[in-house]
């Protein structure tokens, strides 16, 4: 029963389709073609007008003559690069349209994104996020081409929902939702894809946006094909055909018939599949992609040639300037070399001095630490007013006149007498303050008690004669 209903339904649908013999540019776009002729006539003997040419290019783009649209957009672009007549927003719109025309061209794989890159540079300093949002949407769409970058493109597209432009502009919002739906189909998130696509269709319908209504229904059909729901897919595609959209009709119809053929093939409905094949061939003949890509390749070659010529001209100009000023450049190069050499020598010299200073500083630090230690020792000695001998007797330093070594014993002469104790002169020397000096290997004297001296000996106030070592000086 289901099969009979479906056959009757498909026969009704086929009956509603455009007759094959009627399919032509004139059938779809008679009004637009007349508009192009009228606009060209108006511009025939007038100076080049970017705005008038832009209007013609837009119509060409709308009726799937991308090669002609691209050619006119590029002529406007070349004109505007030399003498700007469009305002900033209009020039940005031009860059966007020439980029979209290039990337939407079927079977043309020379997308360079040069116009999109230029648009991005111009939009970097914008106060609002309109153009940055548009650029990011296009960049995310570019990621859709590479299956390895689906997740990257999807995350970029999701971030656009936070932009002010997304919240303000319904057409932009619809486009973002459509792209999110397409990404989810490729990521096999069919439920999420259906949610985004239905939301985009609802907004487009509210705004009488027929083009995005068509895209939403086509993508809903694709989603059902991926889910193997072929009847639902055909239903969505038939609804897309009924939407009164007038833009890109030939390519949209070609997509619809291509998808319907795929659905009928999966249902093994070879009769309807063959009908879709005939329609597809007819639309293909109207949009002969390879034949109509000539302007794209020609402009690409022209652009690349200009870039190369510009580089050659810059190199030739530099070479000519260099030849004319060879002596000056040689002298300058020699001076630069001398300056570099001088800087290197100065650096080496400075580095050497720095190394020496570091060594000296290190040495001074050691000496400083040593002096500090000695000062601490002296300070301790000055504070003490006496020394204690090994026999436990106490000798006051202010009364000590001299110390004489006698073998393993020491004679300590004071103002009140004499002390005899076992010990070494080196040991007692460490306990004495700076006014005590070792003037001979066996004698230490208190400078405060010197009566007189010559080069050979010192006479102390107690009458002791102390010999002086050779070369000793006070």
Domain map (residue ranges) of the chain: 22-308, 325-383, 386-467
Q: Cβ(401)–Cβ(414) under 8 Å?
A: yes
Rounded Cα–Cα distance for residues 18 and 283 (Å): 12
Q: What's the confidence (pLDDT) of residue 191?
A: 95
Q: What's the confidence (pLDDT) of residue 5?
A: 43
Taking the CA atoms of residue 138, residue 140, residue 146 and residue 149 in that order, the dihedral angle to the nearest 10 degrees is 160
Paired tokens of 349: 């010299």
Q: What's the confidence (pLDDT) of residue 310?
A: 64
Q: What's the confidence (pLDDT) of residue 320?
A: 72
Q: What's the confidence (pLDDT) of residue 380?
A: 58
Q: How many Cβ atoms sit within 10 Å of the Cβ of residue 196?
A: 24
At residue 420, what are phi and psi to the nearest 5 degrees?
Answer: -120, 120
Paired tokens of 55: 């209007």
Beta bridge partners of 443: 404, 440
Helical spans, DSSP H, in 129-268? 130-143, 150-159, 164-168, 170-186, 190-206, 210-226, 230-242, 249-266
Q: How many Cβ atoms sit within 10 Å of the Cβ of residue 240?
A: 23
Rounded Cα–Cα distance for residues 291 and 403 (Å): 122
Beta bridge partners of 402: 413, 445
- Helix/strand/coil for 386: strand
Q: How many Cβ atoms sit within 10 Å of the Cβ of residue 296?
A: 21
**pTM listed for this prediction:** 0.58
* pLDDT tens-digit profile, the chain (474 residues): 444 444 444 444 443 467 776 676 677 777 888 888 888 888 888 888 999 989 988 888 888 777 788 888 888 998 988 888 999 999 999 999 988 888 776 554 455 688 888 899 999 888 899 999 999 998 888 877 766 777 888 888 999 999 999 999 999 999 999 999 998 998 899 999 999 999 999 999 999 999 999 999 999 999 999 999 999 999 999 999 999 988 888 888 889 999 999 999 999 999 999 999 998 888 877 765 434 544 444 444 445 565 566 667 767 776 677 677 778 778 888 888 888 888 888 888 888 888 888 888 888 888 888 877 777 766 655 556 788 888 888 888 889 999 999 888 999 999 988 888 988 988 888 888 888 999 999 999 999 999 998 888 999 999 999 999 887 877
Rounded Cα–Cα distance for residues 327 and 331 (Å): 6
Q: How many Cβ atoms sit within 10 Å of the Cβ of residue 445?
A: 26
At residue 333, what are phi and psi to the nearest 5 degrees?
Answer: -60, -40
Taking the CA atoms of residue 400, residue 406, residue 408 and residue 414 in that order, the dihedral angle to the nearest 10 degrees is -10
By C-alpha distance, which of 428, 104, 440, 466 is closest to 287?
104
- Give the CATH fold of the 22-308 domain: 1.25.40
Q: What is the DSSP string of 167-185?
A: HH-HHHHHHHHHHHHHHHH
CATH number, span 386-467: 2.40.50.1020
Q: What's the confidence (pLDDT) of residue 445?
A: 93
The owner of tokens 């991005």 is 120
Paired tokens of 86: 């469009």
Q: What's the confidence (pLDDT) of residue 355?
A: 83
Fill in the DSSP letter of residue 110: -
Q: What's the confidence (pLDDT) of residue 43?
A: 85
Return the percent helix, strand and coil in the chain, to nearest 5. 70, 10, 20
Q: What's the confidence (pLDDT) of residue 14?
A: 42
């Amino acid at each position: 029963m289901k099969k009979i209903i479906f056959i009757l339904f498909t026969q009704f649908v086929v009956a509603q389709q455009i007759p094959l013999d009627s399919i032509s540019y004139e059938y779809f776009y008679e009004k637009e073609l007349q508009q192009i002729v009228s606009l060209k006539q108006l511009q025939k003997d007038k100076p080049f007008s970017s705005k008038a040419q832009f209007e013609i290019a837009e119509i060409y783009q709308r009726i799937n003559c991308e090669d002609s649209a691209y050619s006119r957009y590029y002529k406007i672009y070349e004109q505007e690069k030399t003498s700007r007549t469009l305002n900033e927003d209009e020039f940005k719109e031009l860059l966007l349209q020439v980029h979209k025309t290039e990337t939407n061209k079927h079977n043309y794989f020379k997308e360079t994104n040069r116009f999109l890159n230029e648009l991005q540079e111009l939009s970097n300093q914008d106060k609002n996020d309109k153009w940055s949002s548009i650029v990011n949407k296009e960049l995310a769409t570019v990621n859709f081409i590479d299956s390895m970058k689906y997740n990257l493109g999807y995350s970029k597209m999701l971030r656009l929902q936070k932009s002010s432009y997304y919240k303000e502009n319904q057409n932009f919002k619809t486009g973002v939702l459509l792209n999110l739906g397409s990404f989810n189909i490729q990521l096999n998130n069919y439920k999420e894809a259906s949610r985004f696509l239905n939301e985009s269709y609802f907004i487009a319908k509210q705004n009488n946006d027929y083009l995005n209504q068509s895209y939403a229904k086509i993508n809903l059909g694709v989603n059902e094909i991926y889910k193997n729901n072929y009847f639902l897919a055909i239903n969505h595609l038939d609804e897309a055909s009924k939407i009164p959209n007038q833009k890109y009709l030939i390519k949209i119809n070609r997509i619809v018939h291509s998808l319907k053929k795929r659905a009928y093939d999966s249902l093994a409905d070879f009769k309807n599949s063959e009908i879709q094949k005939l329609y597809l061939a007819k639309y293909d003949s109207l949009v002969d992609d390879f034949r109509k890509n000539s302007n794209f390749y020609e402009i690409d070659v022209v652009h690349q040639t200009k870039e190369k010529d510009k580089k050659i001209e810059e190199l030739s100009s530099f070479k000519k300037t260099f030849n004319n000023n060879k002596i000056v450049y040689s002298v300058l190069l020699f001076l630069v070399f001398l300056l570099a050499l001088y800087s290197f020598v100065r650096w080496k010299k400075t580095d050497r001095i720095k190394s020496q200073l570091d060594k000296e500083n290190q040495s001074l630090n050691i000496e400083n630490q040593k002096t500090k230690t000695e000062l601490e020792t002296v300070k301790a000695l000055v504070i003490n007013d006496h020394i204690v001998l090994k026999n436990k007797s106490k000798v006051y330093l202010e009364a000590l006149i001299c110390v004489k070594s006698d073998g393993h014993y020491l004679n300590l002469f004071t103002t009140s007498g004499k002390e005899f104790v076992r010990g070494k002169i080196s040991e007692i020397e460490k306990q004495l303050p700076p006014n005590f000096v070792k003037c001979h290997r066996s004698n230490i004297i208190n400078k405060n008690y010197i009566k007189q001296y010559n080069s050979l000996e010192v006479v102390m106030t107690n009458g002791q004669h102390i010999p002086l070592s050779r070369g000793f000086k006070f």
